[in-house]
Structures are given as structure tokens and as C-alpha cells.
């Protein structure tokens, strides 16, 4: 996903070139620290299962599993590692863990970047307009997981109907889904044979239950912003703390990421400062909880996403 969708007049070509340099070392530091933290919380959770200590560990562990998608997202952009094969390998591993096949995610996400906020062509807008109920179900992860699991099963059966998916990619996406099902079947078979619940306790249960924390990031990046083609207007950044930025691989600088998706995660803060801060401009920005309060208020009294104008922001700190 090397195409640049941003405004070339926002930043000098030489500066953009410097920020776009990929690094195996930086990639292994970020990925390694995330996996090491997961190993630590997983070990502690397994040791404390059945005690009160398990509850906070379950919450932290499940949250970190879900935020592996931040890594998968960057791996799909080929920006985590300079060595391209590493991006593909870890992208497939993360996709298996998250029940989100890597090739499908990559094609869908490419459509999202190319046609951001275009209801007809943005792969991540292939849904009905939210109302309060559908939004809450998505936030809780209920409809999220239903959609993800159903899609893998449907693709495995050869039913690939998404209009934003090129016809030439559909056979490969079907094969990918079948490999995923084979992998999940192998994990299930080994668990039964070994009479072990480790896969449930350290993977599925925490991941499924703790999806709402990750949805705080997912839902706020574009919802309630204009459906035009200006990246400075249709993409929202997040005001948060360094720990959350590490956990989300700097995706809180989301407007900068959409402007120049070829810049690796470790360059996004400097990119944000270069194209916004240094020029006295500010992209749409909110805090996690501030956004959720505004979103729930917007859907109150039976209002739906369709009740708001498509050419103006309707979720903001001023709304």
C-alpha cells in the first residue's frame, strides 16, 4: 500500500522522504514489546485463573490482544519492517489471532484509504447507518464479532459479495478463509486432545470480551465527520497519553496517517507536528471518552446517522 493519498503541499518532499524510512529495528522494538507484554500478562493470568487477581489481568490481557490490530494495520501498509517478508508473515499471524484474515483486511483497508468516507466505495463503510442500538452493539463487540466470524465462514464457502473487492482477488480470499478455518480447527482439535482450556482462557475469552476497549479507537476515527474527500476534515485524531499511543502503535495520529500512509508508525508524531502543529493547523481531535459522550448524545431520541448532514461534522467537542 505505497500510494500517497495526501497533500504534497503540506510537507517538503525531502522531509517526507526522511519520515518514510522503514526500520526492522524499530519494528522489532514495537512488535517485540507488545508481544512481551502479552506474554507477561498471559503468564500471570494463567497462574491466577480462578482468583480475584485474574479479573484485572483478564482486562489488560484482552485489551492488548485486541490492539494487536494496530500492528496488523501497519503490517498491511508494509511499514513496520523494512524487510517486506516480515510484514507479510506477522500480518498473517496477527490476522489468524484476530479472526481477521490479512489479505482481506489489506484489500478492504486499501479501499478505505483510497475512498475515505465515500459510502459507495469505502470498504469500512459497508454497513447501514448507525442508530443508538446498532452503535452500542458495535461498541460492545457483539455485532463486530458476528460480522467477522460470519465473513470468514461465508468466504470459505466461496461467497464473496463485497462490491469493493476486485473480482481477481476473490479466489485468493476464499483460500485464505479456508486456511483460517483449518487453523482454528487444528487449535480446537489440539485443545480437545490435550483436554486444555488455555486457548479459551488466554485467547478467545479475553479477546471477545474486551473488544469494547479497542472499539474506542475504531469508532472515532471517522464517524461524525464530513463525507467529503478532504483528509483534513474527514479523519479524526485522538488526544490521549503515551501508554495508549504505544498500545495503538501511534494510530491516534490518524489524520497524519491518512494524509501520508507510507509513513511508518514511529514517524507519525513527527509527521503530525510537521503538517499540523508547525503550520498552526489542527485536525479534528477528541478524547476517547469525549467522543463517546458526543456520539451517544447524537444518537439519543431515536436519531440515526442518516438524520445528520453528510457534508458537515456532527460529532465534535463543539457539537
SS (H, E, C) 15-47: HHHHHCCCCHHHHHHHHHHHHHHHHHHHHHHHH
pLDDT value for 155: 98
| Opening angle at CA 245, ends 242 and 247, nearest 5 | 110
CB 299 within 8 A of CB 135: yes
Mean pLDDT of 87-114: 97
Q: What is the DSSP secondary-structure string of 221-288?
A: TTTTS--SS-HHHH--EE---HHHHHHTTTTT-HHHHHH-TTS-GGGHHHHHHHHTGGGT---SEE-H
Average pLDDT, the chain: 95
Taking only the tens place, the pLDDT of each residue in 127-136 is 899 999 999 9
pTM: 0.94
The answer to whether position 3 is within a domain reads no
The answer to whether position 46 is within a domain reads yes
Taking only the tens place, the pLDDT of each residue in 111-124 is 999 999 998 899 88
Domain that holds residue 240: 8-307
The answer to whether position 154 is within a domain reads yes
Mean pLDDT of 293-314: 96
The answer to whether position 2 is within a domain reads no
Strand 237-238 to 285-286 pairing = parallel
d(CA 262, CA 282): 21
The answer to whether position 317 is within a domain reads no
pLDDT value for 7: 64
DSSP 131: -
Question: Is the predicted pLDDT of residue 5 greater than 90, yes or no?
Answer: no
d(CA 214, CA 220): 11
Give the pLDDT band (50/70/90) at residue 317. Answer: confident
The answer to whether position 214 is within a domain reads yes
Taking only the tens place, the pLDDT of each residue in 200-249 is 999 999 999 999 999 999 999 999 999 998 999 999 999 999 999 999 99
The answer to whether position 313 is within a domain reads no
Percent of the chain with pLDDT over 90: 93
Question: Is the predicted pLDDT of residue 8 greater than 90, yes or no?
Answer: no
pLDDT value for 120: 85
The answer to whether position 318 is within a domain reads no
Question: Is the predicted pLDDT of residue 6 greater than 80, yes or no?
Answer: no
d(CA 184, CA 16): 41
Mean pLDDT of 14-32: 97
Mean pLDDT of 1-22: 78
pLDDT value for 1: 39
Question: For the chain, what is the domain count?
Answer: 1
Amino acid at each position: 500500500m505505497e500510494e500517497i493519498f495526501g497533500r504534497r503541499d503540506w510537507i517538503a518532499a525531502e522531509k517526507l522522504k526522511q519520515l518514510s524510512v522503514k526500520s526492522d529495528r524499530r519494528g522489532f522494538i514495537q512488535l517485540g514489546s507488545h508481544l512481551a507484554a502479552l506474554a507477561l500478562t498471559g503468564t500471570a493470568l494463567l497462574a491466577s485463573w480462578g482468583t480475584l487477581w485474574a479479573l484485572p489481568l483478564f482486562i489488560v490481557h484482552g485489551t492488548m490482544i485486541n490492539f494487536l490490530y494496530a500492528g496488523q494495520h501497519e503490517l498491511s501498509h508494509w511499514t513496520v519492517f523494512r524487510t517486506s517478508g516480515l510484514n507479510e508473515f506477522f500480518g498473517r499471524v496477527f490476522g489468524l489471532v484476530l479472526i481477521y484474515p490479512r489479505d482481506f483486511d489489506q484489500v478492504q483497508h486499501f479501499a478505505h484509504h483510497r475512498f475515505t468516507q465515500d459510502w459507495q466505495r469505502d470498504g469500512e463503510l459497508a454497513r447501514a447507518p448507525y442508530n443508538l442500538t446498532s452503535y452500542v452493539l458495535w461498541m460492545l463487540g457483539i455485532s463486530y464479532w458476528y460480522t467477522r466470524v460470519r465473513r470468514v465462514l461465508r468466504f470459505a464457502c466461496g461467497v464473496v459479495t463485497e462490491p469493493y473487492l476486485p473480482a481477481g482477488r476473490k479466489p485468493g480470499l476464499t483460500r485464505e478463509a479456508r486456511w483460517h478455518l483449518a487453523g482454528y480447527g487444528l487449535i480446537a482439535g489440539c485443545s480437545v486432545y490435550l483436554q486444555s482450556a488455555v486457548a479459551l482462557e488466554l485467547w478467545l475469552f479475553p479477546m471477545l470480551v474486551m473488544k469494547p476497549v479497542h472499539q474506542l479507537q475504531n469508532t472515532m476515527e471517522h464517524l461524525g465527520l464530513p463525507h467529503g474527500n478532504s483528509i483534513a476534515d474527514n479523519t479524526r485524531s485522538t488526544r490521549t497519553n503515551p501508554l495508549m499511543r504505544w498500545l495503538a502503535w501511534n494510530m491516534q495520529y490518524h489524520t497524519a496517517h491518512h494524509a501520508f500512509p507510507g509513513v511508518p508508525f514511529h514517524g507519525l508524531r513527527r509527521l503530525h507536528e510537521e503538517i499540523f502543529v508547525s503550520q498552526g493547523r489542527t485536525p479534528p481531535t477528541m478524547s476517547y471518552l469525549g467522543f463517546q459522550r458526543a456520539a451517544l448524545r447524537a444518537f439519543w431520541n431515536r436519531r440515526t446517522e442518516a438524520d445528520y448532514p453528510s457534508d458537515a461534522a456532527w460529532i465534535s467537542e463543539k457539537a
